[in-house]
Structure 1
Amino acid sequence: MALATGADAASLHVEVQGRRALSWHIGRDLDEPRADLAQMRVNRVYSQTDLPGLPEREAPIRALKFTIGPDEQALLALQRADRDFRAVDGMQLANLTPYLGQTMRSWRKLTQERDRAALEREIATGLGCGWMILGPGGIVTESSAQLRPMLVAGGARLRSTGRLEFSDPALAQEFQRAMTGAERGNAQFVTLTHEPPMHIAMLPAQESRMLGIVRLMPAASTQPVERVAAALGLSRSEARLAMLLCDGFSLRDAATELGWTIETARSCSKQIYARMGADGQSDVVRRMLCGPLWLAGTAALQGQG
């Protein structure tokens, strides 16, 4: 709009219940118009001579108020530093009135959908989940953004041709057998990598395609010790031991990893059981795997969503 009317600057301000919520500005850094939206009529084009709430000024301006939703209104303003706008410029702005509110509502809906998709992607990443769409012959035609990093972490690779590459030939053969089973309409559950363990559920989809849901369980050791301690009500030392147990270490191996004696590890494990109200090592692992610990890094739970 600024280009079409030759404006030096353009701004859009959104108010919700009388308070400014969003603002955009392009062009020169001119004095921002401080109009009184409450006194403006909807869908009328104002100039610098009759814009309510605007101090007396000589710089040309054309402004329009429009409604987005209940208790939500916006001000679209065009500004020039010197020469005034033509009548046709005001007409161009007026011609937009039927579309501005709908455009902003569509933009908001799209933004909300993107935010939801980003949050769902972040949660899936925290849980170690990804997906792929496979066509005939096992060619990956679509995949989630987190799939490639997951495959790399697991020792597999998605080639540019769309084919999965396995480090273990036996796993490649197992995958091909599972593809055959899925093509016949039967759900298949396959191991993609052994260390770290990564698995895929292959489900028949439409148009001779298959949906592959991949799971690579994040290691507890990738979580900050402070987060684990806070989530489980443990000390830092207890949290470090609990993280190793969750990652499959035996108590003796965990003691070696931490530089402890086995007696120290046993004493610490008993403290962990008591604090968590757990019946033993397997119960600690179960509670950690089934708890919300893996979601603690998402933006929503940090107040950023």
Structure 2
Amino acid sequence: MTFLSADQRELFLPLIDGIHDNPPWGAFMRNLVARTYARRAFLVVVLANAPADQAPTVLHVTAPRAANEPPLDMMRLDSLRLHPHSRMRPERVYSLDEMLDYDRPEQLAHQRAVLEEMGIRYGRWLRISARGAADAWLVLAREREDFTGSAVSTMSMIAPHLAAALRTFCALAAQRLQTALAEDSLARIGVGQVAFDVAGHVMAADREAERLLTFSAGSSTTVGRKLQLLPETGRQLEAHCAALASSPEGACAALLLDERRDLWMLLRKSDLTLDGPHAAPAVIGTLRLERYENSAAAIRTIAAVHGLSAREAALAHAITLGESIVEAGRCLGLTTETSRNYSKRIYAKTGTSGQADLVRKLLNGLAPFS
């Protein structure tokens, strides 16, 4: 099949660019509706491992002549029990007749009546599979006349390209999940990070850093962003980045970013290992805020990990916040003697040799992430 420049411009390129849209592939769907003269179209994307109560991603597009009509009722369409989507052969175009239940006349009549009410007299279905990571169903509908052979050929032509785009979309979704996991853990303990190049330009910043810092004008993905700092602080940042880039591994420097907030950044020579083609950062900047975990959740975690009673865990947690054994016990309604007896049991159960050792062990454990 010959690919025209219009195919590249209107269908293939929007499939690539549209991966980053939310929801994805809006321009592709609008162009497909125009190319096939469909009245309505919708794309349903179901990701593997999604919880049962998570609604699938549904993109609904209408032709200009149907712009004022209400969107298709997906729940009603699903209730018709058309040919099971999971049993459709991937990348094969199905006609509406192939989706109907001809084995049961009453069900067939019901399906036809409801579809006509919804303005779907003619339709084409296409299933796309992303090798177990996701499934997608593309549906085009018309009301007055059936689709031409050219329209069906267009659907067949774009099927493998849509499958490749869906696989890429799933890979990016997995990467976003990995990023969210890392950012969430760091944010729970008040850590934010920024990647700098050798000139001090911001290559990337995590969610916590974006919240704490002010950046030069531009979107969060603009190449060449810089931190908005006092002129002298900005010059120091640039000098540190240049020096650390040529320093041995493990080199670091501390920089006061904001005296009013007592906000410091630790700059260290980057030792990140990245797969595939990439621009490696020269320096990683780390921020740290004084942040305390959810006390109730932390106490439950300490109790579960170390086999402590609720009172013992509460006392241990209070000690990690800087309180003495007696002060912590008093807040819990314990006498001095009882507090000291509790502390002995806590040391025994946690395998620690005293208050300082206990604080070290708990702060290096799971409780701060609770």
Compute the TM-score of the two structures, normalised by the length of structure 1.
0.69
Contact in 1 for aligned 2:240/2:253 (Cα 8 Å): yes
Q: Distance in 2 between matches of 1:114 and 1:35?
A: 34
Tell whether 2:162 aligns with 1:162: no
Deviates more, 1:279-288 or 1:35-44: 35-44
- Correspondence for 1:154: none
Q: CA deviation at 1:255?
A: 4.4
Which secondary structure does the structure 1 equivalent of 2:97 belong to? Answer: coil
Q: Distance in 2 between matches of 1:50 and 1:105?
A: 27
Q: Distance in 1 between matches of 2:238 and 2:93?
A: 66
Q: CA deviation at 1:143?
A: 2.7
Q: Distance in 1 between matches of 2:317 and 2:238?
A: 35
The one-letter amino acid paired with 2:269 is L
Contact in 2 for aligned 1:66/1:75 (Cα 8 Å): yes
Structure with higher strand content: 1
The one-letter amino acid paired with 1:238 is E
Q: Deviations over 1:227-249 (max 9, x none)?
A: 33333322333222212221233
Contact in 2 for aligned 1:181/1:188 (Cα 8 Å): no
Q: 1:40 to 1:263 in 2, by over 3 A?
A: closer
Q: 1:71 to 1:201 in 2, by over 3 A?
A: closer
Tell whether 2:72 aligns with 1:28: yes
Q: Distance in 1 between matches of 2:215 and 2:88?
A: 59
Q: Distance in 1 between matches of 2:193 and 2:128?
A: 43
Contact in 2 for aligned 1:40/1:51 (Cα 8 Å): no
Equivalent residue for 1:45, pick from 89, 93, 103: 93
Deviates more, 1:226-235 or 1:195-204: 195-204
Q: Deviations over 1:177-198 (max 9, x none)?
A: 9779647736225386999997
Q: Distance in 1 between matches of 2:137 and 2:265?
A: 53
Which secondary structure does the structure 1 equivalent of 2:359 belong to? Answer: helix
Q: 1:134 to 1:274 in 2, by over 3 A?
A: same
Which secondary structure does the structure 2 equivalent of 1:109 belong to? Answer: helix
TM alignment of 1:56-67, pairs within 5 A: 57=112, 59-67=121-129
Q: Distance in 1 between matches of 2:127 and 2:280?
A: 49
Q: CA deviation at 1:204?
A: 6.2
- Correspondence for 1:100: 162
Which secondary structure does the structure 2 equivalent of 1:146 belong to? Answer: helix
Tell whether 2:289 aligns with 1:289: no
Q: Distance in 2 between matches of 1:14 and 1:208?
A: 35
Which secondary structure does the structure 1 equivalent of 2:125 belong to? Answer: strand
Contact in 1 for aligned 2:267/2:283 (Cα 8 Å): no
Q: CA deviation at 1:287?
A: 1.8
Aligned residues: 282
The one-letter amino acid paired with 1:214 is L
Q: 1:74 to 1:281 in 2, by over 3 A?
A: same
Which secondary structure does the structure 1 equivalent of 2:207 belong to? Answer: coil
Q: Distance in 1 between matches of 2:262 and 2:292?
A: 9
- Correspondence for 1:77: 139
TM alignment of 1:245-264, pairs within 5 A: 245-255=319-329, 258=332, 260-264=334-338
Contact in 1 for aligned 2:196/2:284 (Cα 8 Å): yes
The one-letter amino acid paired with 1:203 is K
Contact in 2 for aligned 1:138/1:163 (Cα 8 Å): no
- Correspondence for 1:272: 346
Q: 1:258 to 1:35 in 2, by over 3 A?
A: same
Q: Distance in 1 between matches of 2:41 and 2:130?
A: 22
Compute the TM-score of the two structures, normalised by the length of structure 2.
0.58
- Correspondence for 2:188: 126
Q: CA deviation at 1:282?
A: 2.2
Q: Deviations over 1:164-185 (max 9, x none)?
A: 58xxxxx99x999977964773
Which secondary structure does the structure 1 equivalent of 2:145 belong to? Answer: coil
Contact in 2 for aligned 1:129/1:213 (Cα 8 Å): yes
Q: 1:116 to 1:141 in 2, by over 3 A?
A: closer
- Correspondence for 1:233: 307
Cα RMSD (Å): 4.5
Q: 1:290 to 1:107 in 2, by over 3 A?
A: same
Contact in 1 for aligned 2:38/2:141 (Cα 8 Å): no
Contact in 1 for aligned 2:197/2:241 (Cα 8 Å): no
Q: Deviations over 1:89-127 (max 9, x none)?
A: 434323322312112111111111111111111122234
- Correspondence for 2:316: 242
5+ residue gaps in structure 1? 152-156, 166-170, 297-305
Equivalent residue for 2:269, pick from 196, 203, 211: 203
Contact in 2 for aligned 1:42/1:67 (Cα 8 Å): yes
- Correspondence for 2:39: 7
Contact in 2 for aligned 1:221/1:244 (Cα 8 Å): no
Which secondary structure does the structure 2 equivalent of 1:69 belong to? Answer: coil
